[in-house]
């Protein structure tokens, strides 16, 4: 069951990839293609490739004693620049790339985890929406934006991080899992209607 939970955090990303692919195919007036949907799914999780290295090396993906995998590839500006290069060769694929990775970063900016460095390279602060800076993972409207510098983020993650976060957030229904699983289900319904 724990291995199945590994895809839990990606289900919302997959949902975003499907929804963005459907939207762009419609806007560009293009015929649906399995290749475009595969690209949408891959692009939607590409920033987490650094998490695979952490999983293999440490057996888990969590912010704590060995840092936060989001310190590796989670720099939105870098991905937008790469996407602009792709747009030069293929407008549809480049646009799909940019929107899918930005949706990934938006998804990583709430709920679980310790935010994203949205202003890098101008700032190395991690930003998280609808959360407080004194908890591992929550969703609250009391605070729209929370941020940490690298040192306070690592200290907070070590002090408050839940090593069993996959099971805790995705192995049961919670606000976070309900929203993320719901996003995936909605994307499948939209895809079924679109292809039907």
Residue 138: what are its φ and ψ, rounded to 5°? -155, 175
Residue 68 lies in a domain: yes
How confident is residue 5, by pLDDT bands cut at 50, 70 and 90?
low
Q: In the chain, what percentage of residues exceed pLDDT 90?
A: 52
What are the tens digits of pLDDT across the range 35-46?
999 999 999 999
As for how many domains the chain has, the answer is: 1
Widest CA span of the chain, in angstroms? 51
Contact 23, 54 (CB under 8 A): no
- Does residue 86 lie in a domain region? yes
- Cα separation, 190 vs 175, whole angstroms: 22
Instruction: Decide if 146 contacts 131 (C-beta within 8 A).
Output: yes
Burial class (CB within 10 angstroms; exposed 0-12, middle 13-18, buried 19+) of 19: buried
- Domain of residue 173 covers 7-195
Does 2 map to a domain? no
* Three-state DSSP class for residue 13: helix
In a domain, 182, yes or no: yes
Residue 133 in contact with residue 146, Cβ under 8 Å?
yes
Residue 181 inside a domain? The answer is yes
Q: What is the pLDDT of residues 8-23, one digit of tens each?
A: 889 999 999 999 999 9
């Amino acid at each position: 069951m724990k291995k199945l939970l590994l895809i839990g955090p990606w289900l919302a990303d997959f949902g975003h990839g499907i929804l963005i692919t459907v939207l762009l195919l419609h806007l560009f007036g293009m015929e649906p293609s399995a290749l475009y949907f595969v690209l949408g799914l891959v692009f939607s999780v590409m920033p987490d490739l650094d998490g695979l290295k952490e999983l293999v090396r440490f057996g888990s993906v969590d912010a704590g004693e060995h840092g936060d995998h989001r310190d590796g590839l989670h720099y939105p500006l870098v991905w937008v620049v790469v996407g602009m290069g792709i747009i030069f060769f293929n407008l549809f694929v480049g646009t799909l790339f940019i929107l899918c990775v930005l949706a990934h970063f938006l998804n990583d900016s709430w709920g679980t985890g310790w935010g994203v460095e949205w202003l890098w390279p101008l700032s190395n602060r991690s930003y998280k929406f609808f959360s407080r800076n004194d908890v591992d993972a929550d969703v609250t409207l009391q605070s729209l934006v929370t941020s940490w510098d690298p040192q306070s983020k690592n200290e907070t993650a070590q002090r408050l991080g839940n090593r069993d976060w996959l099971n805790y957030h995705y192995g049961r229904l919670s606000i976070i899992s309900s929203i993320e699983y719901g996003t995936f289900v909605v994307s499948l319904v939209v895809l079924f209607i679109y292809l039907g």
